[in-house]
Amino acid sequence: MSKKTFYITTPIYYPSGKLHIGHSYTTVAADAMARYKRLQGYDVMFLTGTDEHGQKIQRVAAENGVTPKEYVDKIVAGIKDLWSLMKITYDKFIRTTDKEHIETVQKIFKTLYDQGDIYKSEYEGWYCTPCESFWTETQLVDGKCPDCGRGVEKTREESYFFRLSKYQDRLIQLLEENPDFIQPASRRNEMLNNFLRPGLEDLCVSRTSFNWGVPVTFDSKHVVYVWIDALSNYITALGYLGEDDSKFKKYWPADVHLVGKEIVRFHTIIWPAMLMALNVPIPKQVFGHGWLVLEGGKMSKSKGNVVDPVVLVEKYGLDAIRYFLLREVPFGSDGVFSNEALISRINSDLANDLGNLVSRTVAMIQKYFGGVIPKERAAGDYDEDLKAVVSQIKGKTEELMDKLQFSTALAEIWKAISRTNKYIDETMPWALAKDEQNKPRLAQVMYNLAESIRIVSILIQPFMPETPEKIWRQLAVPESQRTWESAGVWGAYDPVSPVAPGEIIFPRIDMAKELEALSALDNSAPAQAKAPAQEKKAEAPKAEAPEGIALIGIEDFAKVDLRVVKVLACEKVEKSDKLLKLKLQCGDEERQVVSGIAQYYSPEEMVGKTLILVANLKPAKLRGIESQGMILAASDKESGKLTLVTIEGEIPTGTKVS
């Protein structure tokens, strides 16, 4: 009889930039889950990896003067180092540049094509030259490129499409019949209401505008676009359609895909549809967790915003960081990462409660009994109550872990720690120690303390890979009494050697001093206002967005007619959250422009402003209102800030800007 299997995945990350604490969030959670299941005796398959194709990588590599493969190799090495540092116990690290992956993707593509689920589109579409992007009629926004808003040209650009629409009804059925398929449940409603019920469009699944990707075997102009390339990693990693598909047979369907909330849609609509087309079972669950966001930039001077996981781990230790990530935020909700919150957690939960409990217990066993608890013991008050509380945490922890409720699971374990600290006060060992007659009672008290700690130390293993060992060493817990099962057995503790007082497991941190130090560190580095919990681009179609704009000649710039204008009137566009309608004075002419700045500027404050207008932009309709040009503004996606471009000094409207 073979062991039960458990297959868990993280998204594959897009290796285009540096790593921060948010990247670690999903992966640490998945690791905790994988460790937990292994401890329970499951045959676990834990997959993570990188999504290495696409235009952006190709471009960044070119800018760095290296081949795409050389570029990603370097980044991937860094990611693996980080996972190693964080003791991530993945069973396989898949790269979409792996030979096996590429071959399987090609087979999948061909299969879907042969059976008619992928078809070549020859009908007219729209091409945005600056973005090198191909769009369908319905993707256009008022006839313009949805990415950059510039004009598009009708082309006969060919492209392959996946018949996503064909699976609409089956997808609706899937979500309706399996309410737990998408977690948290609120995401399920979003998928149904915003996508499935309104109707799905077929999906463009190939590109001809770049070549850093998996080539379509039967049509060499095309490479496979992100969907089929990236999502399929979950099965190609198991050898699906490969020479050895034993792992696929063994582990598929996945028990859970852990993903960030921003890519829930791809995993709950596109991915299942692909699997349906391939006649492969659907994964059991997709869990979309929230983001760990940094506190707003405005207080960063006093709070500090150091989020480099390497720095954090070096500073506070791996277990403290992992504990914080999994404890601070209910899995599924967004949470705030701040240095105060981190230090506060470390001090109160780890140093004061757990660390100090171990320290005082070991110290007492050493002091009162020379390190060995006598076998002659006497039961007394409070014993049963302590035992009752501590004995049931294994069950509670398991119940919560099975629902991926890491935070509440940890809270539950900490209740036991708290109860144990209280037990010391109740039994007052130092009083018992004064009278030789009380030795048996004192021995029992010491035993109960050690036993509680032993049980706790086993249960925290999924979250903290280093601390349990330290505790076992100090309490001299024999190998056989460290098993997951033994955490459910009160009284298993039976050491064969004396306790070994040792290092302080979690040193207290001086909050004030530390914040100051962090703030200094922070000031030396560029401040970040916001950081998503993971690389947002991972598997997202926006990877196509133009980045790294090419050099142009002066003659190209001359094509743009920029003018100084003054705002005469301004009002909000009805039924729109972002649009303002502006009436502008441009020399003798008046212009009406619609601009998406309503969230940054009120209509009142706009009036009278001097701005820069792109005067020769093709007119477009927005919300049915004609916009004759475009207002310039600087915006930062990361921080969500936007500010208008104005002009220094007085100059008549209509003046050309060059």
Per CB under 7 A, residues contacting RNA are 141-146, 148-150, 186, 189-190, 193-194, 261-262, 265, 330, 333, 335, 344, 347-348, 351-356, 358-360, 363-364, 367, 418, 421-422, 424-425, 428-431, 504-508, 573, 575-579, 593-597, 614, 617, 620, 622-623, 627, 629-631
Contact between 263 and 182 (Cβ < 8 Å): no
30 membership: H or E segment, kind and range: helix 21-39
Q: Closest Cα to residue 256, out of 394, 405, 369?
A: 405
Q: How far is the CB of 491 from RNA (least distance, A)?
A: 22
User: Residue 70 burial by CB count (10 A; 0-12/13-18/19+): exposed, middle or buried?
Assistant: exposed
Cβ closest to RNA, residue 308 vs residue 469? 469
Pick 37 or 144: Cβ nearer RNA = 144
Considering the complex, what minimum distance in angstroms separates the CB of residue 319 from RNA?
A: 11
Cβ at position 422, least distance to RNA in Å: 4
3-state secondary structure of 454: helix
Q: Which amino acid is at 218?
A: F
Q: What is the closest distance, in whole angstroms, from the C-beta atom of residue 296 to RNA in the complex?
A: 11
- What amino acid is encoded at 571 in this protein? E
Rounded to an integer, what distance in angstroms lies between the CA atom of residue 195 and that of residue 190? Answer: 8
DSSP 386-452: HHHHHHTHHHHHHHHHTTT-HHHHHHHHHHHHHHHHHHHHHH-HHHHTT-GGGHHHHHHHHHHHHHH
C-beta closer to RNA: residue 193 or 646: 193
Q: Whole-angstrom Cα distance, residue 209 to residue 131?
A: 9
Closer residue to RNA, CB minimum distance, 240 or 323: 323
Give the residue with the Cβ less far from RNA, 109 or 271: 271
CB of 364 to RNA, least distance (A): 4
Nearest to RNA of 306, 364 (CB atom): 364
CB of 186 to RNA, least distance (A): 5
**With contact defined as beta carbons under 8 Å apart, do 68 and 210 qualify?**
no
Q: Which is nearer to RNA, 314 or 626 (CB)?
A: 626
Q: Cβ of residue 249: shortest distance to RNA, in angstroms?
A: 35
**Closer residue to RNA in complex, CB, 382/484:** 382
Rounded to 5 degrees, what are φ and ψ at 98? -65, 140
Q: How far is the CB of 484 from RNA (least distance, A)?
A: 24
Pairing label, strands 133-135, 125-128: antiparallel
Which of residues 94 and 128 has its CB atom nearest to RNA in the complex?
128
Between 430 and 557, CB nearer to RNA: 430
Q: In angstroms, what is the minimal distance from the CB of 137 to RNA?
A: 12
Residue closer to RNA (CB basis): 89 or 576: 576
Contacts 24+ apart (CB under 8 A), 177-185: 180/285, 181/268, 181/282, 181/284, 181/285, 181/286, 182/264, 182/268, 182/285, 182/286, 182/288, 183/285, 183/286, 183/287, 183/288, 183/332, 183/404, 184/287, 184/288, 184/332
Query: Min. distance of Cβ 226 from RNA in angstroms?
Result: 16
Q: Is 457 in contact with 467 (CB distance < 8 Å)?
A: yes
79 close to 13: Cβ distance less than 8 angstroms: yes
Phi, psi (rounded to 5 degrees) for 585: -95, 125
Question: Rounded to an integer, what distance in angstroms lies between the CA atom of residue 447 and that of residue 204?
Answer: 65
In the complex, what is the shortest distance from the CB of residue 50 to RNA, in angstroms, rounded to a whole number? Answer: 23
List, in sequence order, every residue forming a beta bridge with 44; answer none if it has no partner.
6
Residue 33 burial by Cβ neighbours in a 10 Å radius (0-12, 13-18, 19+): buried
